[in-house]
Structure 1
Amino acid sequence: MFLKKLARFILITLVALIATLVIFLAFSLAPVDRTPAQEEEYYRVMKQDLDSLRNVVIPKATEGFSVGYAKVNLTPSSPVPLAGYGNRRGKPFTEVHDSIYVRAMVIGNGAQRVAVVSADLLLIPPAVNEQLKNRLAVVGFSPDQVYLGATHTHNSIGSWGKGAARFIYGPYQDEIVNFITDKIVACVEKASENIVAASLRTGAIPVAQAVSNRLLKGGPEDSLLRVMEVRRNDSSKLLLMSYTAHATCLYSKDLALSRDYPGPLVDTLEAQGYDFAMFMAGAVGSHKCTPPEYGWNCMDWMAGELSQAFLSQRHQLKAVHDSTLFMLRVPLLLSDPQVKITPDWKIRPWLFRAALGEYPVSLTALRIGDIMMLGTPCDFSGEFNFALDPIASKRGLQIMVTSFNGGYIGYVTPGKYYDRKYFETQLMNWYAPGTGEYMEECMEQLVEIVDK
């Protein structure tokens, strides 16, 4: 009798567990929606929103450019979790190989003032971006006057992502978010206090040997090191650089705090006559660095290749004569998230939002004379630059697309790769197929709006 009751209990329990699992899966999973963005309501509304900006008034410069600069140390006083590789599971850094920083340039033209900020972080955390919306006013800036970016080092501090993100970024800590926000605000304020009249030059220098397409062997790659050089009237020289190769020289087993290759790159150029250099990750989705070997030697190799290419060809940079300065931050409308667990099945939006939270995201456009900077909330694929470059070039503009502008929507890659079985196009591709092409269209419109 006892054995019959036990068997019956086990059977009922198993049936209940299976039923619970089936119900959970039914509410948690759904087929992948392959509806093109152009057929969705958010596409129509986004286009309307952008069209409404065509009449925006760009203030005329009352003087030439003036530029201030600063860097602020972002190194914590004690070890915190590293962000960048999920298999670290939030392990803290064990030593400081090289200190991390926030760097900023504040640019003015008499009518406008804009700060360009880059931090030695995996990305600008959404929680930090939300805090900055209120905190920047203390130093006289609004969010629409601050262009954000990151170096995308995978060996910098984490603990700024909530929910399931803790497996990649470490458990969320308010004090870390406050710490990063404080440093960004302090850097913007410091850069604002040493503004000097300046002239600008810009250009794009190919460094093909340092980058390759990581989705398709031999596939298209944007190998251009995009540069803005500043020469101030006090004889100081500054650099802003962007490149498409992921800052992933180091392995997940490397637990030292480090800026990865952007660190020795800016250090090298500051040792070669520049008073200040800063780096922003470009359109790094689909692109990787290609050193002879990865690890610590990779950092110096990448820095050497990029700095040598720049120093040998900087005479080709062209003067920026137009002193227009204007920035737009436009909310980016998207499909519901659909993280794929198989090529044809996705996690339902409610589960994704419960696991990772939801923050507003935007596209940013900053025109600095002949330079057009476009900021994205993702690992944006460098392949899209092949469409954006000629559009800007026809208008006499040098384009610089950057990633990680304060929001994060995963990897955004060309639609032709949507079903490719790869980390970027499966687990980290969080939105509908065609999202990249849709964003590219929006960015093309922003170029037209900001260039009048």
Structure 2
Amino acid sequence: MRKFLKIFSYFILILAVLGFASIEKIDRTDIKQTEHFKQWKELLRSIKLKETTGDFSVGWAKVNITPLVPGPMAGYGSRKGKEFEAVHDSVFVRVLALKNSQDTVYLLSADMLIIPPNVVEKLKPLLRQQRISLRNVHFSATHTHNSFGGWGNSLTGRLFAGSYDPNVEVELAQKFALAVRKSTQNLVSGSVSYNESVDKEDIRNRLGVVDGKIDSEIRSLFFERIDGSKASLITYGAHSTVLNSKTFQISRDYPGILLDSLESSKLNFGIYLAGAVGSMGPIEKGVDDFDEVKNQAKGVLKHLDFTQKRELQNTLVSEYIQLPMNHPSARISKDYALRPWVFKYLFGDYPTYVKITKIGKTLILGMPCDFSGELMIELDAYAKAQDIDLIITSFNGSYIGYITDDRLYDRGLYESSTMSWYGYQNGAYFSEIVKDLVDKVK
């Protein structure tokens, strides 16, 4: 009995040491008193944004990234990395290139859950071979939860994207580089316009809270070339989760049908970038999953209006800025979180940045997260007061979880608990970053 008690005591002691080494109390210091907030303000003063001018040329390309053999799916952890059973519709990487006399911006979106940070790392040298700087590439994803996986090289990446295959990472980087290169092979002079539409019928606040807010705007850019060809970049907040976790078919979800419909009627090319999708869900109407996808796409298409577009001046600003961040603090309860070393082991360790793309008076900010549509409402109004049209896109090639309104932090919600990875008051921090950048470019 004594031997058992001794072993049991050692076991308890080991658990206590491991707990102390891996868990810490959440720091609730007011955001304006934190070191990373102060570092951001110092960095902001030193940022020099270069604006270039000159007549626009526009080009575009898409490259098929559909796997040739079955592999794990990405999107829902409940699938546990199970392989897809069929390809319902192919998935692509699309690039829209906008060039003036001094600079070129590449707007890239893939039919994937996110743009994986490790793929961006592999892409960097391929872009350098084309003499393209990463600062000129604006990444986003359609955020379909029914695309392929295999690209997640961390424990959490494996949870959401299945078994890691380094070949998937390499092939993705190569296809991204190919799409970027092809987008400049058909550059034609043209103009760019900004457009807003409102669709309240196909989006909901998915948090189930009584004080939930909805960002119902479809924000888009319209490109018209002198040869008569037309393209559009479309952003919207409704999550691409119409297809549920029991659907084991590769699909672009509703953005795929939306772009297919536009390209068969009004456009020569379309590209969809997930907007401020945090807390925003689709309206699922139909007899089965794919009927719901069709109805969601039809609903958004019905509200998409290109007649109210405003032509933009031929000016470009393109930059990405590495952000000072609080140390990672993935929550395990209301008041406790994993220590940074545990987080980095589970989630990986990549730089966090914001992507700045400004075309005329339209500012597109690429965020490293699922950025909340609730936050977007106030930020859109703030930008409008500065005579700036603001577009926020998610999944910019780094990823830090969800950025939500801070009033939700202690409500035990999935987005603000399980997927809140960087501590207290990140909603206020990123809102401050957006407002500061609006002020910087206005």
Task: Look up the equivalent residue of 2:423 and give its one-letter code.
Answer: A
Structure-1 residue corresponding to 2:341: 350
Q: Answer yes or no: is 1:365 the counterpart of 2:356.
A: yes
Q: Secondary structure at the match of 1:234?
A: coil
| Counterpart selection for 2:433 from 435, 442, 450 | 442
Task: Look up the equivalent residue of 2:148 and give its one-letter code.
Answer: I
How big is the alpha-carbon RMSD for the aligned residues of Structure 1 and Structure 2? 1.4
- Tell me how far 1:314 sits from its aligned partner: 2.0
TM-score normalized with structure 2 length: 0.96
8 Å contact from structure 1 (residues 156, 258) kept in 2 = yes
Q: Secondary structure at the match of 1:209?
A: coil
Structure-2 residue corresponding to 1:39: 33
Q: Distance in 1 between matches of 2:360 and 2:50?
A: 16
1:193-223 per-residue CA deviation (whole Å, 9 max, x = no partner) reads 1100011221110100111112224621100
Structure-1 residue corresponding to 2:124: 133
Q: Distance in 1 between matches of 2:42 and 2:311?
A: 36
Structure-2 residue corresponding to 1:319: 311
Structure-2 residue corresponding to 1:4: none
Q: Distance in 1 between matches of 2:254 and 2:427?
A: 27
8 Å contact from structure 2 (residues 362, 390) kept in 1 = yes
Task: Report 1:414-425 matches (<5 A).
Answer: 414-425=405-416
1:19-57 per-residue CA deviation (whole Å, 9 max, x = no partner) reads 21121112111222111221111111111111111x444
1:314-370 per-residue CA deviation (whole Å, 9 max, x = no partner) reads 2112222x1111111000111111111111111111111111111001001100112
Structure-2 residue corresponding to 1:395: 386
Task: Look up the equivalent residue of 2:242 and give its one-letter code.
Answer: C
1:238-269 per-residue CA deviation (whole Å, 9 max, x = no partner) reads 01000001100111111111111111010011
Task: Report 1:215-234 matches (<5 A).
Answer: 215=207, 216-217=209-210, 219-234=212-227
8 Å contact from structure 1 (residues 365, 450) kept in 2 = no
Task: Look up the equivalent residue of 1:179 and give its one-letter code.
Answer: E
Task: Report 1:149-164 matches (<5 A).
Answer: 149-164=140-155
Q: Answer yes or no: is 1:386 the counterpart of 2:377.
A: yes
8 Å contact from structure 1 (residues 35, 432) kept in 2 = no
Task: Report 1:129-208 matches (<5 A).
Answer: 129-165=120-156, 166-208=158-200
8 Å contact from structure 2 (residues 142, 240) kept in 1 = yes
Q: Distance in 2 between matches of 1:337 and 1:49?
A: 20
| Counterpart selection for 1:253 from 243, 246, 253 | 246
Q: Answer yes or no: is 1:22 the counterpart of 2:16.
A: yes
Q: Answer yes or no: is 1:267 the counterpart of 2:295.
A: no
Task: Report 1:265-304 matches (<5 A).
Answer: 265-293=258-286, 295-304=289-298
Q: Distance in 2 between matches of 1:433 and 1:253?
A: 34
Identity, % of aligned positions: 37
Q: Distance in 2 between matches of 1:349 and 1:57?
A: 36
Q: Distance in 1 between matches of 2:7 and 2:75?
A: 41
Task: Look up the equivalent residue of 1:133 and give its one-letter code.
Answer: K
8 Å contact from structure 1 (residues 81, 93) kept in 2 = yes
Q: Distance in 1 between matches of 2:210 and 2:176?
A: 38
Q: Answer yes or no: is 1:309 the counterpart of 2:300.
A: no
8 Å contact from structure 1 (residues 365, 447) kept in 2 = no
Structure-2 residue corresponding to 1:3: none
| Counterpart selection for 1:340 from 327, 331, 335 | 331
8 Å contact from structure 1 (residues 82, 90) kept in 2 = yes
Structure-1 residue corresponding to 2:76: 85
- The number of residue pairs the alignment matches comes to 439
Structure-1 residue corresponding to 2:401: 410
8 Å contact from structure 2 (residues 235, 275) kept in 1 = yes
8 Å contact from structure 1 (residues 249, 261) kept in 2 = yes
Q: Distance in 2 between matches of 1:43 and 1:335?
A: 8
Task: Look up the equivalent residue of 2:165 and give its one-letter code.
Answer: Q
- Tell me how far 1:140 sits from its aligned partner: 2.7
Q: Secondary structure at the match of 1:172?
A: coil
- Tell me how far 1:192 sits from its aligned partner: 0.8
Question: Aligned in 2, Cα 1:364/1:85: closer, same or farther, shift over 3 Å?
Answer: same
Q: Distance in 2 between matches of 1:409 and 1:56?
A: 25
1:125-157 per-residue CA deviation (whole Å, 9 max, x = no partner) reads 010111222221222311011110000001112
- Tell me how far 1:379 sits from its aligned partner: 0.4
- Tell me how far 1:116 sits from its aligned partner: 0.4
Structure-2 residue corresponding to 1:113: 104
Structure having the higher Rg: 1
Q: Secondary structure at the match of 1:274?
A: coil
Question: Aligned in 2, Cα 1:91/1:440: closer, same or farther, shift over 3 Å?
Answer: same
- Tell me how far 1:380 sits from its aligned partner: 0.5
Which stretch of the first structure deviates more once superposed, 404-413 or 343-352? 343-352
Q: Distance in 1 between matches of 2:437 and 2:128?
A: 26
Q: Secondary structure at the match of 2:221?
A: strand
| Counterpart selection for 1:76 from 46, 52, 67 | 67
Q: Secondary structure at the match of 2:51?
A: coil
- Tell me how far 1:8 sits from its aligned partner: 4.1
Which stretch of the first structure deviates more once superposed, 210-219 or 195-204? 210-219
Question: Aligned in 2, Cα 1:101/1:57: closer, same or farther, shift over 3 Å?
Answer: closer
8 Å contact from structure 1 (residues 337, 432) kept in 2 = yes
Q: Secondary structure at the match of 1:87?
A: helix
Q: Which stretches in structure 1 are left out of the alignment for 5+ residues?
A: 1-6
Q: Distance in 2 between matches of 1:176 and 1:325?
A: 34
Q: Distance in 2 between matches of 1:81 and 1:51?
A: 45
1:90-121 per-residue CA deviation (whole Å, 9 max, x = no partner) reads 11111101100000111011111110000001
Q: Distance in 1 between matches of 2:406 and 2:385?
A: 26
Q: Distance in 2 between matches of 1:333 and 1:177?
A: 27
